[in-house]
Amino acid sequence: MQHVMRFLFGVLALLCCLGAQAQPFPSKPIRVLVTVPGGGSPDVLARTVAQKMAENLGQQVIVDNRPGAAGIVAATAVINAPPDGYTLMMADTALYAVLPHLSRNLSFDPLRDLAPVALVATSPIFLVVNPELNVNNVKEFVALAKAKPGLAYASGGNGSAHHLAMEMLKLLAGLQLTHVPYKGAAQAVPAVMAGDVAASFAGLNLAQAQARAGKVKMIGIATGSRSALAPEVPTIAEAGVPGFGMTISLGYLAPSKTPREVILKLNAELSKAANAPEVQQRLFTLGVEASPPTSPEHYAETMRSENQQYGKLVKASGARAD
C-alpha cells in the first residue's frame, strides 16, 4: 500500500510540475527598470508602452525607476535577475555603445550580459545655433567655425550623445571647437540662447519650442534621414557634411540567458504596444519616434554597430567617466 501511495504522490507531483511549466508567459507582473528618474522622456516612454502592453496582455507591467551611475545601477539589477522574462530594462544607446568605452571600471559587458529584446524608438537630436550668429544652415556654421577656430559649443556632459555628435562634426568637417559641458541637456540649450556658446545638439523637446520662439535656430538633424517630427530640418549629411549620421536608439533588454521563446513573445508584445496609434502620438509629443517592429537579431546588430561607431567618437574626444 505504501508503494502505491508513493507512486501516486510521485505522479501528482509530476503533474503539478508539468502544469506549472505549461503556464503561458506571462503569468505574473513584468517589471521594467528605467535608468532615469520619473518624468524624463525615457520614463514617460516606458510608462506609455507599459500601459498599452498591460492592456494587451491582461497582466501588470510595472515601471521601476533605478537612476544612478549612468545606467549601471539598473543594468546590474537586470543582469542579476532570474532570466525568465519578468525583469527587463529600457536602455538607450549610451548604456551599450558609450559607457563601455567611457568607463575603465565597468564590471559587465552590456553586449554579452544583456539580451536584446526589442528596439522600440529613436530619439533624434538637432544642431541648434544662436540666432545672432547669422548662420542659417550647416554650411554656414561650418564656414563660421573654420573662420573662428575655438568657437564654443555646449553639451549635456562629457560622453553624452550631444558631445559625441559634435565630435563627429569636428572630425568630418575638420573643425576646431571648444567643448563646454553642462550637467545635462536641459542646461545646454539655454546657454545657446544666452549666447554663452554658439551651438549645441539637443532633443526636439528642448529645441523646437525655442526655435519657434526665435531664440535658437534648428539647422540640422543628426540622423541619416529626415524625421517626421520636423521634416523641414535637413540632415547634416545632406546639408553639407557627407557621411554624418547618428541615432539614439531606445529599446528593451533582458538578462542574457532568457529563453528565446520568451524573448520572441516580449519582442512581439513590446513592438505591438509601441506601434499602437495612441502610443505613437504620445511619443511624438516627447520628440521620440516609434520604430517599426523588428527582430531581436536586428536590435542586436544595431547595438553592435552603434557600439563601434560611438567607441571611435569617445576615443577621438578623449572623454572619460573614471
Q: What is the CATH number of the domain that holds 197?
A: 3.40.190.10
Host H or E run for residue 31: strand 30-34
Edge-to-edge strands of the sheet including 199-203? 177-181, 151-155, 199-203, 125-129, 217-221
34 & 114 share domain: yes
**pLDDT tens, residue by residue, 167-179:** 999 999 999 999 9
> Rounded to two decimals, what is the model's pTM?
0.86
The average pLDDT across 218-232 equals 94
Per-residue model confidence (pLDDT) at position 17? 46
The pLDDT value given to residue 38: 82
Whether 169 and 244 have beta carbons less than 8 Å apart is answered as: yes
Residues 58 and 38 in one domain: yes
Look at the chain and count its residues: 322
At which residue does the C-alpha cell 542659417 appear?
Answer: 136
User: What does the pLDDT read at residue 1?
Assistant: 52
- 11: CB partners within 8 A, 6+ apart: none
Residue 93 contacts residue 247 (beta carbons within 8 Å) = yes
Determine the pLDDT at residue 4: 46
User: Do residues 113 and 257 both lie within one domain?
Assistant: yes
Span 286-307, pLDDT tens digits: 889 999 999 999 999 999 999 9
* CATH number of the domain encompassing residue 102: 3.40.190.150
* Range 312-319 average pLDDT: 85
Average pLDDT, the chain: 90
CA distance 251 to 270: 9
Number of domains into which the chain is organized: 2
2-10: long-range contacts (C-beta < 8 A, 24 or more apart)?
none
Confidence of residue 186 (pLDDT cuts 50, 70, 90): confident
- At 206, the pLDDT band (50, 70, 90 cuts) reads confident
Q: How far is Cα 120 from Cα 9, in angstroms, rounded to an integer? A: 47
Residue 213 has pLDDT above 60, yes or no: yes
Q: Is 17 part of a structural domain of the chain?
A: no
- Cβ neighbours of 262 (radius 10 Å): 18
The residue segments making up the domain with residue 140 are: 125-221
d(CA 43, CA 211): 25
Distance, in Å, from the CA atom of 312 to the CA atom of 67, rounded to the nearest integer, reads 27
187 and 107 housed in the same domain:
no
238 vs 3, more confident: 238
What percent of the chain stands above pLDDT 90? 73
The pLDDT assigned to 170 comes to 95
Evaluate whether residue 189 is within a structural domain.
yes
Is the pLDDT at 216 greater than 90? The verdict is yes
Q: Are residues 145 and 197 in the same domain?
A: yes
Whether the pLDDT of residue 23 is over 80: the answer is no
Average pLDDT over residues 2-23: 51
Q: What is the pLDDT of residue 321?
A: 63
